[in-house]
């Protein structure tokens, strides 16, 4: 968990160094018990790069008295192309994303833990609104394919715990955040 906090601190520190940065938190993940933060940086007139980090923990209850708790820590890069942006990079966008992270499945009763790596690649689409104050609100959705690799000595246990994870990667985002901009010193003087 300390590596995750370090990554989040670096993410927001880099936000302060860029000219225009959107710092966001996924409220949908927070309501589900996870944490998902991201920073978005412009690449050109209509494209942007977003880098996010996420941690989630959820229980999965199987039908044959074997219950598992899954924990996942992942890094999520995204490329976005904005159609007809008004204020920087906002409004409707499409793009691609990747995910790479570590997943652990723990049997709730025996406390046996299985670890693996998971990677995904997919497409996303969404819409971002920016208020004049800098507050932002975003809705997005995406779909992709994921693969789980790594393993354990006991292949049957690995398949039972990690094999339950779907190869389909679905994303739904309800994000809120703030846009940070650096003003040109010449513009600041002329505004006085």
Spacing of C-alpha 60 from chain mean position: 21
35-42 and 47-61 strand pairing? antiparallel
- Whether 168 has a pLDDT exceeding 80, the answer reads yes
Average pLDDT of the chain to the nearest whole number: 82
- pLDDT bin (cut points 50, 70, 90) of residue 149 is confident
The pTM score is 0.79
- Whether 163 has a pLDDT exceeding 80, the answer reads no
Bigger pLDDT: 45 vs 78: 78
Spacing of C-alpha 16 from chain mean position: 19
Bigger pLDDT: 103 vs 158: 103
Q: Model confidence over 95-141: pLDDT tens digits?
A: 999 999 998 888 788 787 888 899 999 999 999 999 999 999 999 99
Q: How far apart are CA 166 and CA 129, in angstroms?
A: 32
- As a three-state string, the secondary structure of 90-124 is CEEEEEEEEEEEEEEEEECCCCCEEEEEEEEEEEE
Q: How far apart are CA 187 and CA 192, in angstroms?
A: 9
Q: Does domain 2-190 have CATH number 3.40.50.300?
A: no
Q: Model confidence over 55-73: pLDDT tens digits?
A: 998 877 664 556 778 889 9
């Amino acid at each position: 968990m300390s590596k995750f906090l370090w990554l989040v601190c670096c993410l927001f520190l880099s936000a302060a160094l860029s000219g225009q940065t959107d710092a966001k938190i996924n409220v949908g993940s927070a309501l589900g018990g996870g944490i998902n933060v991201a920073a978005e940086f412009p690449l050109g007139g209509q494209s942007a790069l977003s880098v996010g980090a996420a941690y989630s923990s959820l229980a999965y209850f199987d039908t044959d008295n074997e219950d598992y708790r899954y924990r996942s820590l992942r890094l999520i890069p995204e490329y976005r192309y904005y159609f007809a942006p008004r204020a920087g990079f906002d409004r409707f966008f499409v793009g691609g994303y990747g995910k790479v992270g570590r997943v652990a499945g723990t049997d709730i009763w025996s406390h046996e833990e299985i670890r693996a790596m998971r990677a995904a690649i997919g497409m996303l689409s969404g819409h971002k609104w920016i208020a004049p104050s800098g507050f932002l609100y975003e809705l997005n959705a995406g779909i992709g394919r994921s693969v789980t690799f790594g393993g354990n000595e006991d292949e049957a246990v690995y398949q039972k715990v990690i094999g339950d994870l779907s190869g389909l990667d679905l994303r739904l985002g309800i994000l809120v955040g703030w846009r940070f901009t650096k003003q040109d010193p010449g513009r600041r003087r002329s505004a006085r």
